[in-house]
Amino acid sequence: MLEVLKVLEGTSLLAAVVLLPASALLAQRTETGRMRWDGVERTYTVRVPRSADSARTVPLVIALHGRGGSGQRMVRWSGFDAKADEAGFLLVAPEGTGDPRGWSTGFAPGGAIDDVGFIGALIDTLAGRYPVDSKRVYVAGHSNGGVLAHRVASDLSSRVAAAAVVAGAIGVRSGAGNVTRIETPRAPVPIMIIHGDADAVVPYDAIALSPRGSRPIPAPEAARFWARANECAVTEPQRDTIAAGHVVRDRWESGCRAPVVFLTVRGGDHGWPHTDRGAALDATHAIWEFFATRER
């Protein structure tokens, strides 16, 4: 509606409604929102599907950018804006804090901001403004945003219908071997983990030490953590390959309270996998396909 009023500046609201076809009033749109949380003003970008103007509720996908990124860039760069328009879900991409902009995950110094609490409050705020289906709230994140997605799935397990993490760790292991990681969730959460085995930023197998002497917990270990958390009856996954053999797929599904899917992109780097950029896998498509059938 804001776009409508800008185009027809000087025309009365009633006239604008009469002159424009219903399709124009029910178009997809991008909005910017602000809210104050824990004494800090937070901003977020919302992609609103046409279906959100109808009487029925719509799923909500929360997309979390990596360190140094932004919500607006995450929306476009991941392709989640086009997927939201196509599939009809509400997409929100909130902004982190600091310089460079990022998320407080509890695994690094300076974690004074309760970003998990912020995401919970954001869900409540959006549910008060849009017809959000509370049984279909999903979270996806990349890199530092992927770490927060792990944490949100764990800490808000009763509210999250499914989660997806691209190139993000569940925690860190210090040079002395001490481990700091997310807590076991109180409720099972379906989760998809996507990680390139050539990732030089968040190493797949965590061989390389960071300058602080700590290293991320390996991606395969993260997948097994979630298989245990979801009480899967088997320890070894079903394994096959997809994308012409370029992606190894491990699945824990049999006897699980919630499924775990772990996709290893052979030769994949730290970027968000996108076939338009030469990747073997389109992460956004795979994630939405995983989310689409899940509900809390």
pLDDT in tens, the chain (296 residues): 333 333 323 333 223 223 333 333 456 889 999 999 989 999 999 999 887 777 689 999 999 999 999 999 999 999 999 999 999 999 999 999 999 999 998 876 556 789 999 999 999 999 999 999 999 999 999 999 999 999 999 999 999 999 999 999 999 887 777 888 999 999 999 999 999 999 999 999 865 444 456 789 999 999 999 999 999 998 899 999 999 999 999 999 989 999 999 999 999 999 999 998 889 999 999 999 999 999 99
The structure tokens listed for 42 are 């937070």
Q: Domain holding 250: CATH number?
A: 3.40.50.1820
Half-sphere exposure (Cβ direction) of 50: Cα atoms closer than 13 Å: 11
81 part of a folded domain? yes
Domains identified in the chain, total number = 1
191 part of a folded domain? yes
Q: Which domain holds residue 87?
A: 30-291
Give the residue carrying structure tokens 């919970």.
120
The structure tokens listed for 259 are 């499924």
Q: Which of 215, 216, 204 is nearest to 264 (CA)?
A: 204
14 part of a folded domain? no
102 part of a folded domain? yes
54 part of a folded domain? yes
177 part of a folded domain? yes
175 part of a folded domain? yes
122 part of a folded domain? yes
The 3-state DSSP class for residue 237 equals: coil
Indicate the pTM of the whole model.
0.88
